[in-house]
Amino acid sequence: MKIVWASPPNLVYDQTPHYFQALFSAGAVYLRSRFPDHEVVTEAAGFHGSFQRVILRHFACHSTAEYLVVWARPWEAHAARDLASQVKQLSPSTKVLVWGEACSYFPHYFERQPFDLYAVNGDPELVIADAIEAMERGEQPVHGVVFSQDGKWHYTEKGEVLAPEFWGFPDLEAIDPSVYQYWRMQRGQKVDDLSFAVSRGCPINCARWCPTPRKEGTVDRRRSARDTVEYMKRLPEPYTMFQMHSPLFCMDREWVREFISLKAQACPETPFKVVDLMNPYADERLVAELSEVGMKNVGFGVETLSAKGRHMIPKMEPSLLEKVAANLQKYGVSSKAYVQMGLPGQKREDILYTFKVLMDLGLKPRPTGSTPFWKLAKMTVEELDQTDLTKWDRKTYYEPRIGLSYREFMAIVHDPVGFLANSEELLQWAA
Ligand code: SF4
């Protein structure tokens, strides 16, 4: 049996490698562990900018693959369908399975030919592996998927989650490091991060625009601190830092304490960065201890502040922000404060005010467009077919309602500090 684990060819400006390493390639690693006597090929065409033929060649030779598993995020849905159609033309017996955020946000898009199955919930690598195993036995899949059989679509039980000791680590062959560096330079980044899954799930569940609770659930689940540190003992070339793939790195304080203690013994110098809520970093001792064991950067969602004290989601306390900024500066930890442009109820003044507050505190803003994927859920399949989903990527999606011109939006996305340093409105606010 041969399984092709692929991302469809569909380049976007913001090719985030973390997801390809921690989700996509690690998912293939898990499938290999489940089918050790079979071939699992990865084709990260969506990252490499490859031609569709790089994937199609696995279906045109004498030993065609039995399964194509396609990773589809919302902006890749059309590319996934086109790839699936081409594969079915070449190899009608191949089963086409699809997973990813597009399946969570607008599952109905995939409930038609040429797809045979889509993953809806549970951990995707587990539900897909179980579904393939069931189909190989001539049985029906039982959890986490919707599948087609005898011209009907069948719904299974809720998807199960995978115990953290079975979470894969990245397949370093799946992403070409030279292509990784190329995209990193295109995006103006300076550091090559190697991302791997540390935790999944978010109990905060604070905003409908956030895909994490929807796709990973609302329970914080973690790889053991020991396995995490063991993996971090060796940082392979060309990577210069680990990126801890986790929605809320410090959510489990007991785990964090154990991580700090183990890392201090094993590899205190190995640098890493995290993504988290902002709140834990108001604790000076925690920041000090994490920086002592190599933490170099914290990314956290500010999303938006309100210029006039209106209630915005999520609610953010500026005094807490001050404390966090002071702690990070004191211990030499850089920051990435995520700001979204286009949130419900947000106005131009809120966006500019947010940037002003962040810059005054010495925090580095990381602005993106806010992509309202929930709107896609309400569209018909025909409407989805006619919508240019490639524009629903976070560095491209522009919402005129917020009162920024398209030029301003693009300037902020590409050079927030330069734009904001020269913004007359901000200078007036500062005066
Ligand atoms: S924004 Fe952060 S805290 Fe809120 S639901 Fe998403 S991952 Fe959880």
Mutate to test the pocket of ligand 1, among 104, 204, 215, 373 (most ligand atoms within 8 A of CB): 204
Cα 204 to middle of ligand 1, angstroms: 6
Tokens of 6: 């692929």
Residue nearest to atom 5 of ligand 1 (CA): 205
Q: Where are the domains of the chain?
A: 2-155, 170-430
- CA pair distance 342, 225, nearest whole angstrom: 37
Residue nearest to atom 4 of ligand 1 (CA): 206
Tokens of 62: 């004498």
Q: What is the CATH architecture of 2-155?
A: 3-Layer(aba) Sandwich (3.40)
Residue by residue, pLDDT tens for the chain (431 residues) are 999 999 999 988 877 889 999 999 999 999 999 999 999 999 999 999 999 999 999 999 878 999 999 999 999 999 999 999 999 999 999 999 999 999 999 999 999 999 999 999 999 999 999 999 999 999 999 999 999 999 999 999 999 999 999 999 999 999 999 999 998 888 888 889 999 999 999 999 887 778 888 889 999 999 999 999 999 999 999 999 999 999 999 999 999 999 999 999 999 999 999 999 999 999 999 999 999 999 999 999 999 988 876 656 555 677 889 999 999 999 999 999 999 999 988 999 999 989 989 999 999 999 999 999 989 999 999 999 999 999 999 999 999 999 999 999 999 998 888 887 777 777 676 66
Give the nearest ligand 1 atom to 314 CA: 4
- CA pair distance 123, 215, nearest whole angstrom: 8
Cα-based torsion angle of the residue sequence 388, 389, 392, 397 in order, rounded to the nearest 10 degrees: 0
Please tell me the predicted confidence (pLDDT) of residue 430: 62
User: Which residue in 333, 324, 331 sits closest to 357, CA to CA?
Assistant: 324
Query: How many CB atoms are closer than 10 A to CB 102?
Result: 28
Predicted model pTM? 0.94
Cα 39 to middle of ligand 1, angstroms: 36
Please tell me the predicted confidence (pLDDT) of residue 314: 58
Phi and psi at 16, nearest 5°, equal -80, 115
Please tell me the predicted confidence (pLDDT) of residue 311: 58
Give the nearest ligand 1 atom to 303 CA: 1
Please tell me the predicted confidence (pLDDT) of residue 170: 97
Please tell me the predicted confidence (pLDDT) of residue 119: 98
CA–CA distances in Å: residue 192 to residues 71, 181, 182, 404: 23, 7, 10, 32
Please tell me the predicted confidence (pLDDT) of residue 79: 97
Please tell me the predicted confidence (pLDDT) of residue 308: 75
210 CB within 6 A, ligand 1: yes
All residues at 6 or more sequence positions from 302 whose CB lies less than 8 Å from its CB, including other chains: 278, 316, 321, 337, 338, 339, 354, 358, 363, 365
User: Which residue in 340, 331, 316, 348 sits closest to 413, CA to CA?
Assistant: 340
Cα 246 to middle of ligand 1, angstroms: 11
- CA pair distance 268, 266, nearest whole angstrom: 6
- CA pair distance 423, 420, nearest whole angstrom: 5
Give the per-residue SS3 of the chain.
CEEEEEECCCCCCCCCHHHHHHHHHHHHHHHHHHCCCCEEEEEEHHHHCCCCHHHHHHHCCCCCCCEEEEECCHHHHHHHHHHHHHHHHHCCCCEEEEECHHHHHCHHHHCCCCCCEEECCCCHHHHHHHHHHHHHCCCCCCECEEEEECCEEEECECCCCCCHHHCCCCCCCCCCHHHHHHHHHHCCCCCCEEEEECEECCCCCCCCCCCHHHHHCCCCEECCHHHHHHHHCCCCCCCCEEEEECCCCCCCHHHHHHHHHHHHHHCCCCCEEEEECCHHHHCHHHHHHHHHCCEEEEEEEEECCCCCCCCCCCCCCHHHHHHHHHHHHHCCCEEEEEEEECCCCCCHHHHHHHHHHHHHCCCCEEEEECCCCHHHHCCCHHHHHHCCHHHCCCCCCCCHHHCCCHHHHHHHHHCHHHHHHCCHHHHHHHC
Range 170-430 has CATH code 3.80.30.20:
yes
Tokens of 7: 């991302």
313 CB within 6 A, ligand 1: no
- When computed from its CA atoms, the radius of gyration of the chain, rounded to whole angstroms, is 22
